[in-house]
Structure formats: structure tokens, C-alpha cells
């Protein structure tokens, strides 16, 4: 079973590409990833998925929410699945904005998003060190896509298919880190 976290355009495109019979897509209104309680419900209801794809991303006026949804929840779910999974592949969608967290004129809401995605990318690097050191049967892939066509980017940027293709490649090749800029 494949769990897709997030019901946005990317999650929908992945579900269509991977096959609806193999995927469960979780998100609002049923699951709010700004709460630990809903993250725990995911863990309870889906204790042993083969693949987890975190597509969650939000830029809001609430900086706390930006940090929790974009970093804390994915990190928490990753660590919980690592602790209980016998063999699974976790794919966290970060962002190429992790490469330049701040820049002139950046507002604090976008800064908190960039900072959270930078944290998620670094988290992936460190978790992979643990996976190697402890010889775990878990694969963690962090994908850093550049701006792609979604409501968050006013439907500008590269075609969403490029990100879907990157996830498809990650499922097959199981790299630790992957950046997709154009």
C-alpha cells in the first residue's frame, strides 16, 4: 500500500500516476497535519505501508503552522514509521527553496516555509546517516523540486509531471536525495 500525505494537486497527480487501487490519499478535511493527534491517527490507521509519500506543503500567514506542517509533522511521521516499519520507503517532498532560505525582500511567511523545507532536507540527510549506521530496512528519499505548477505558485513553474516523474524514479531507484530544478 502507498500512502500519499496531502490532498493537493501533487498528491492527486501521484495517485493518478501510481494507480488509485494502490494509493490512499490523506489530508484535509479528514486529517490536519498541523496537529499531532491527526498524525497519530495516520500511524494508527496505516501502521505498515510499503511507501509513504509526503506531499504536504503550505505557505500561510500563520508562521507556526508553516513550521509545523512543513517540517515538524513530516519529521515526526518519518521517525515514527522508521521505529515501527520492517521495510518501507518514505519520500518527503521538500523544496529547492531549501537552497536559499532567505533573500532580500522576503516576507516572514515565506521565510518560515523556506526554513521548514530546509529543515526537512537536512533532516533527511541526518536520518539517512542513522539508517546506514543502524542497517535499517527503511529508505528515506528527500526530493527538492523547484517551483512547479500548483496553487502555491500561482500555477507557474515546471509541469507537475516532472515532480511525478521524480517520485516515480525515487520509488524505483531509492536514492537518498534528489533535486529537480527544471
CATH class of 2-180: alpha beta
H or E element in which residue 4 lies = strand 2-5
149 vs 176, higher pLDDT: 176
The answer on pLDDT for 150 being more than 70 is no
**What pLDDT does residue 125 have?**
92
Mean per-residue pLDDT over the chain, rounded = 88
Q: Domain ranges in the chain? A: 2-180
Residue 122, classified by CB atoms within 10 Å of its CB into exposed (0-12), middle (13-18) or buried (19+), is middle
If you write DSSP's letter for every residue of 43-75 in order, what string do you get?
HHHSSS-SEEEE------S-HHHHHIIIIIHHH
Q: How far apart are CA 125 and CA 177, in angstroms?
A: 8
Q: What is the pLDDT of residues 60-77, one digit of tens each?
A: 899 999 999 999 999 999
Q: What is the pLDDT of residues 6-15, one digit of tens each?
A: 998 899 999 9
**What pLDDT does residue 182 have?**
63
Percentage above 90 pLDDT, the chain: 57
**What pLDDT does residue 37 have?**
98
Apex CA 134: angle with CA 93 and CA 121, to 5°? 20
The predicted model scores a pTM of 0.91
**What pLDDT does residue 54 have?**
96
Q: What is the pLDDT of residues 127-149, one digit of tens each?
A: 999 888 888 888 999 988 876 65
If you write DSSP's letter for every residue of 14-49 in order, what string do you get?
HHHHH-TTTEEEE-TTT--TTSHHHHHHHHHHSSS-
Q: What would the mean pLDDT of 16-39 be, rounded to a whole number?
A: 94
**What pLDDT does residue 159 have?**
82
Instruction: Please say whether the beta carbons of 162 and 92 come within 8 A.
Output: no
Amino acid at each position: 500500500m502507498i500512502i500519499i500525505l496531502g490532498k493537493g494537486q501533487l498528491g492527486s497527480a501521484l495517485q493518478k500516476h501510481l494507480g488509485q487501487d494502490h494509493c490512499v490519499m490523506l489530508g484535509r478535511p479528514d486529517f490536519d497535519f498541523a496537529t499531532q493527534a491527526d498524525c497519530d491517527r495516520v500511524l494508527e490507521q496505516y501502521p505498515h505501508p510499503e511507501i509513504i509519500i509526503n506531499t504536504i506543503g503550505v505557505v500561510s500567514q500563520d508562521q507556526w503552522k508553516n513550521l509545523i506542517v512543513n517540517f515538524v509533522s513530516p519529521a515526526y511521521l518519518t521517525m515514527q514509521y522508521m521505529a515501527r516499519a520492517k521495510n518501507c520507503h518514505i519520500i518527503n517532498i521538500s523544496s529547492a527553496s531549501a537552497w536559499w532560505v532567505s533573500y532580500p525582500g522576503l516576507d516572514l511567511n515565506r521565510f518560515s516555509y523556506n526554513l521548514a523545507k530546509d529543515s526537512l532536507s537536512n533532516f533527511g540527510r541526518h536520518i539517512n546517516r542513522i539508517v546506514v549506521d543502524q542497517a535499517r530496512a527503511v529508505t528515506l528519499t528527500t526530493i527538492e523540486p523547484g517551483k512547479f505548477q500548483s496553487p502555491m505558485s500561482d500555477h507557474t513553474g515546471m509541469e507537475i509531471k516532472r515532480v511525478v516523474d521524480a517520485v516515480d524514479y525515487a520509488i524505483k531507484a531509492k536514492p537518498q536525495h534528489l533535486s529537480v530544478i527544471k
